[in-house]
């Protein structure tokens, strides 16, 4: 895996082929595959906010959420949210893979959540990974795995977070467990104060490999 510098666009990749997905195929956390040697991952900048929103819409749509059109209000808010946080590099990072034809085709987002310090976590920081998604036309090329590895490297090397959480769909479990994630001892629960029905429960994964506690 090669990680580019901030904002550096990778050289054009080899022809990736059509790679069309079947209708309705989930793309959040695609099945694990070994990244190709020439997969280039770079850290996203504020200029990538639109691409992150686009991939978020793909992910949510695959999970059964109605995302609306390009003018849906949530998209503008998400664009602002990503733009602001991509500028705050200390506790937030996103990593992407570029395609010469489609632009950004895969991403993973990492953020630090601040909690009260405890005996096993003096910093109080926990990591959370979200927005793991690959364009349906570029699935099963190791892109999601490469982005996941990059964000985990960022947590390990540049933050004090040593417990990393994510919410996994059934399509992504193989990828995440292959990277060391496992079920935590205490499951996550959810209540919605707006009276809406909570979505189908997902498996909450926690990475606790070497150097993580």
Q: How confident is the model at residue 36 (pLDDT cuts 50, 70, 90)?
A: low
Query: How do residues 134-175 score in pLDDT, each as one tens digit?
Result: 999 999 999 999 999 999 999 999 999 999 999 988 888 999
In the chain, the percentage of residues whose pLDDT exceeds 90 is 61
Query: How do residues 190-213 score in pLDDT, each as one tens digit?
Result: 898 988 766 654 555 556 543 332
Provide long-range contacts, Cβ within 8 A and 24+ apart, for 35-39. 35/1, 35/141, 35/142, 35/143, 35/145, 35/146, 35/149, 36/141, 36/142, 38/2, 38/13, 38/14, 39/1, 39/2, 39/97, 39/141, 39/142, 39/143, 39/146
Task: Write down the mean pLDDT value for the chain.
Answer: 81
pLDDT of res. 207:
67
pLDDT of res. 194:
87
Hey, which residues does 25 pair with through a beta bridge?
A: none
CA distances to 15, 55, 202 from 180, in Å: 31, 25, 18
pLDDT of res. 200:
57
Pick the more confident residue, 45 or 210.
Answer: 45
pLDDT of res. 212:
38
Give yes or no for residue 24 having a pLDDT over 70. no
- C-alpha 39/C-alpha 143 separation (Å) is 7
| Contact indicator for 95, 52 with CB cutoff of 8 Å | no
Give yes or no for residue 95 having a pLDDT over 50. yes
Pick the more confident residue, 8 or 99.
Answer: 99
Q: How confident is the model at residue 88 (pLDDT cuts 50, 70, 90)?
A: confident
What is the phi/psi pair of residue 149, to 5°?
A: -60, -40
| Mean pLDDT in residue range 45-64 | 96
| Per-residue buried b or exposed e for 14-36, using 16+ beta carbons within 10 Å of the residue's own CB | eebeeeebeeeebbbbbebbebe
| Contact indicator for 190, 198 with CB cutoff of 8 Å | yes
Pick the more confident residue, 7 or 169.
Answer: 169
pLDDT of res. 31:
40
**CA max distance for the chain:** 51
- C-alpha 187/C-alpha 68 separation (Å) is 31
- C-alpha 134/C-alpha 17 separation (Å) is 15
| Range scoring the smallest mean pLDDT among 49-53, 78-82, 198-202 | 198-202
Give yes or no for residue 122 having a pLDDT over 70. yes
| Mean pLDDT in residue range 109-135 | 95
pLDDT of res. 196:
78
| Contact indicator for 143, 134 with CB cutoff of 8 Å | yes
């Amino acid at each position: 895996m090669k990680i580019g510098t901030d904002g550096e666009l990778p050289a054009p990749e080899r022809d990736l082929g059509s790679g069309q997905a079947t209708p309705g195929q989930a793309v959040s956390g695609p099945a694990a595959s070994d990244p190709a040697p020439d997969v280039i991952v770079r850290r996203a900048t504020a200029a990538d906010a639109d691409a992150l929103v686009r991939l978020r819409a793909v992910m949510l749509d695959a999970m059964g959420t109605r995302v609306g059109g390009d003018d849906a209000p949530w998209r503008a808010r998400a664009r602002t949210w990503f733009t602001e946080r991509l500028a705050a590099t200390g506790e937030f990072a996103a990593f992407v893979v570029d395609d010469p034809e489609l632009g950004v085709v895969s991403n993973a987002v990492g953020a630090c959540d601040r909690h009260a310090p405890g005996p096993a976590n003096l910093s109080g920081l926990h990591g959370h990974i979200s927005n793991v998604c690959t364009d349906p036309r570029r699935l099963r090329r190791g892109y999601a795995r490469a982005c996941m590895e990059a964000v985990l490297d960022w947590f390990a090397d540049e933050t004090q977070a040593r417990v990393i959480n994510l919410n996994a769909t059934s399509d992504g479990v193989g990828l995440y467990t292959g990277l060391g994630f496992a079920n935590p001892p205490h499951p996550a629960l959810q209540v919605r104060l707006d009276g809406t029905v909570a979505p189908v429960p997902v498996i909450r994964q926690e990475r606790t490999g070497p150097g993580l506690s």
